[in-house]
Amino acid sequence: MLLLEAHHVKHYVQDRLLLDVDQLQIHQNDRIGLVGRNGSGKTTLLQILAKKISPEEGVVIQHTQCELLPQFKRTDTTKSGGEVTQEYIQKALVKDPELLLADEPTTNLDTDHIEWLEKKLREWQGAFIIVSHDREFLDALCTTIWEINEGKIREYTGNYSDYVKQKEVERHQAQLAYEKYEKKKKQLEEALKLKEKKAERATKTPKRVSESEVRGTKPYFAKKQKKLQKTAKAIETRLEKLEKVEKVKELPPLKMNLPNAETFKNRIIFRVEDVTGMIGERVLWSKASFHVRGGDKLAIIGPNGSGKTTLVKKIINQEPGITLSPSVKIGYFSQNLNILDVEKSIIENVQSSSKQNDTLIRTVLARMHFFRDDVYKPVGVLSGGERVKVALAKLFLSDINTLILDEPTNFLDTESVEALESLLKEYEGSVIFVSHDRRFIENIATRILVIRNQKIKLFEGTYQQYKHAQLQKTRDTAKDKRLLLETKISEVLSRLSIEPSEELEMEFQKLLKEKRELDTIE
């Protein structure tokens, strides 16, 4: 059943053609993830499909109830951003639309609530289009990916990981096409040079030949030269008509000079000893102790309000109980982006705090998709997402050896998140970061620090290992509860056989329900 269709949609931003979509169709049970760079038109497309704005050309036909969950949530001083987002989602789902258009629905949600939303949407019967930079979220929910690039939409079958694999195949094919083009071009250029040389030689008088003989051979050589020139011209035409194939961009490896590298790697760079987290009278976490070594990639995770940012600030301010090694040089990324000078260009901002050479600076900026003359743009004209990328690049290239990042992937599109990941994977310094992006944590972290239930616990291992350990713990707990329930059920059954009562029957049914719920965990 067709829920929505769009035909010949064109939409401009000033004189730039933002969207140029020939045809779109959304059917019952479609689960679509919409991806593309910041500013590519994802939010605008959702608003057009929801009929909140009209395209300059084309038509949108809705065959069913359609609900838009907007990106920019209202501010409510009495509630957290996560609570407001949750409220919006609940209200949208209660309306039970057949088609939901959700723009960054995981904004401000912590991992627990992202997983709650995942479960809600997995069980939900309607169709949806979701804009999200959370790749784990897209993997869990989507069966189709739409990619917006230069106004056009390309459809890929499968979830986000399937889309990435298909893009890699496309990249490989583009590389083969480029190599084939280069080989053909070289062959034609060499053939052209050869024919031109032969044509040139055809005009020269052969040695040891008399003048009368030369006069007799002139028409032959002129004819031969003309033929060779004609062949050369044909090769030249083929060269001109040869369809140009662009070279696939390769990412050059990074080799950075980190300060104090020799006294830093694998050594304890700071200790936290018996540190408590408080906000006024409220205890965030009771006394905690742990240490970090040079080169660690430590993820700090936990629900909103558990004290992740408070811990980060305590480390930066070296509060009592926290000792840093003299070899440590910290760089801190926060959402206010106060390290940027909006009057200066991208490259000037980065150079101002870097001791790295210009080649490396340009390499890192290219990794963050600032190519060639892009680097001369003033920061003041950049979008929010682009400014985040500049701030991260500036910090990354500063004269530091320890990065502390608070929610670095907020406002970044998936391509930029993956670019940041590639930088952090190759970075030889330490990275301490707060994030709710599960794929990002999985790809970067070597250790996990969890703040939950007013306690700090350190897990030695990756996020995947941590999740596996948590699942095993849940299963073990469920197993113990199950044994206890089975004992209680046996007791109630024997009592029911002796003295049946409504009260005992209700207790028996309640115990059975609890057992069924536990069976789903195991």
- DSSP letter for each residue of 263-274: GTBTSEEEEEEE
- Which pair of structure tokens corresponds to residue 32? 């679509």
Helix (H) or strand (E) holding 258: none
Give, to the nearest 10 degrees, the angle between helix 463-498 and helix 502-521: 160
The band of 372, judged by pLDDT with boundaries at 50, 70 and 90, is: confident
Contact present, 196 and 188 (Cβ < 8 Å): no
408 touches 420 (CB < 8 A): yes
CA angle 48, 53, 58 (to 5 degrees): 55
Is residue 211 predicted with pLDDT exceeding 70? Answer: no
| Strands 430-434, 282-293: pairing kind | unpaired
What the block records as the tokens of 95 is 């309306």
Nearest to 209 by CA among 220, 198, 223: 220
Contact 482, 518 (CB under 8 A): yes
For range 413-435, the mean pLDDT: 91
What 3-state class would DSSP assign to 49?
A: helix
Range with the poorest average pLDDT among 66-75, 159-168, 177-186, 425-434: 66-75
pLDDT of 216 higher than 60: no
Q: Which of 116, 109, 121, 459 is nearest to 303 (CA)?
A: 109
Which has more pLDDT, 330 or 202?
Answer: 330
Structure tokens given for 391: 């701030």
Nearest CA-CA partner of 255 in 185, 356, 144, 135: 356
Please check whether residue 126 is in contact with residue 98, taking contact to mean a CB–CB distance below 8 angstroms. yes
Q: pLDDT grade, residue 491 (50/70/90)?
A: confident
Q: What is the pLDDT of residue 241?
A: 81
Q: What region, left, alpha or beta, does residue 332 occupy, with left being phi > 0 and alpha being psi -120 to 50 degrees?
A: beta
Question: CA 165, 39, 332: angle at the middle one, nearest 5?
Answer: 85
Indicate the pairing of strand 297-301 with strand 447-452: parallel
**Cα radius of gyration (the chain):** 32
Instruction: For the chain, give the longest Cα–Cα distance.
Output: 137
Q: Quick one: pLDDT band at residue 155, thresholds 50, 70, 90? A: very high
Chain position carrying tokens 């605008």: 44
pLDDT tens-digit map of 275-328: 999 988 899 999 999 999 999 999 999 998 899 999 999 999 999 999 999 989
Q: Which two tokens stand for residue 206?
A: 């052969």
Say whether 451 sits in a helix, a strand or coil: strand
**Cα–Cα dist 496/490, whole Å:** 10
Which segments of 242-357 does DSSP mark as H helices, in order?
308-316, 346-351
Q: Is 215 helix (H, G, I), strand (E, B) or coil?
A: helix
Taking residue 72's Cβ as centre, other Cβ atoms within 10 Å add up to 9
205 backbone dihedrals φ, ψ, rounded to 5°: -75, 130
Q: What angle, 0 to 180 degrees and rounded to 10, lies between the N-to-C axes of helices 160-201 and 211-241?
A: 170
Angle at which helix 414-426 crosses helix 358-367, to 10 degrees, equals 140
pTM: 0.79
- Signed CA dihedral, 147, 152, 154, 155: sign only: positive
Residue 429 identity: G
Contact of 412 with 133, CB cutoff 8 Å: yes
Averaged pLDDT of the chain = 87
Smallest Cα–Cα separation from 432: which of 339, 314, 306?
314
Share of the chain above pLDDT 70, in %: 92
Please give the pLDDT value at position 284: 94
Three-state secondary-structure class, residue 490? helix
**What's the pLDDT score for residue 481?**
83
Give the confidence band of 254 by pLDDT, cuts at 50, 70, 90.
low
Q: Work out the average pLDDT over 251-256.
A: 65
For 470, the token pair is 């948590």
Contact 35, 26 (CB under 8 A): no
